[in-house]
Amino acid sequence: METRVMSMICVRCPVGCDIKVTAEGDEVKSVEGNSCPRALEFARDEVRNPTRVFATTVRVSGGRLPVCPVRSRGPAPKSRLFDISREVAGLTVPAPVKIGQVILADACGTGVDIIASRDLEAREVTA
C-alpha cells in the first residue's frame, strides 16, 4: 500500500496548526505538528472522507436583491462540491425567501440540504 505524506491546516480548534499527516490508504499512521489531540480526528476525517460546508448565492426572481446567500445545512462530501455548485447555479427561487428555507433538498443525493442564509423580501411594486 502506498504511503502518502500530506500537509494540512487543522481546523478542529481555533489554533489552526500546520500538520503533517502520514497515511497508508485510508489509515492515518502519524500526525505531526499539532498542539492538541483533535488533529488526529481531523486527519482521519480528511483522509477517509473530507467534507466542507458549501456556500454560494442563488438567483431570486421578484426579490429586493437579485441573489440570496445560501449554504449547506451541514458538511457535504468534498468530492461533490462542484456537482452541487452546478445544480445550485441552475436554480432561480421566487421571493420572498426566509432564512433557513430549504432551497435544494438532498443536493446531488448527498443527503445535505442547501438552505437560505438570510431573509430576502419581495420587491415592492410601485404604481
User: CA 48 to CA 4: how far, in whole Å?
Assistant: 13
Give me the percent of the chain exceeding a pLDDT of 90: 95
CATH code that applies to domain 55-116: 3.10.530.10
Query: Tell me: the pLDDT tens digits for 21-55?
Result: 999 999 999 999 999 999 999 999 999 999 999 99
Q: In which residue ranges of the chain is CATH 3.10.530.10 found?
A: 55-116
pTM (2 d.p.): 0.84
User: CA 76 to CA 54: how far, in whole Å?
Assistant: 7
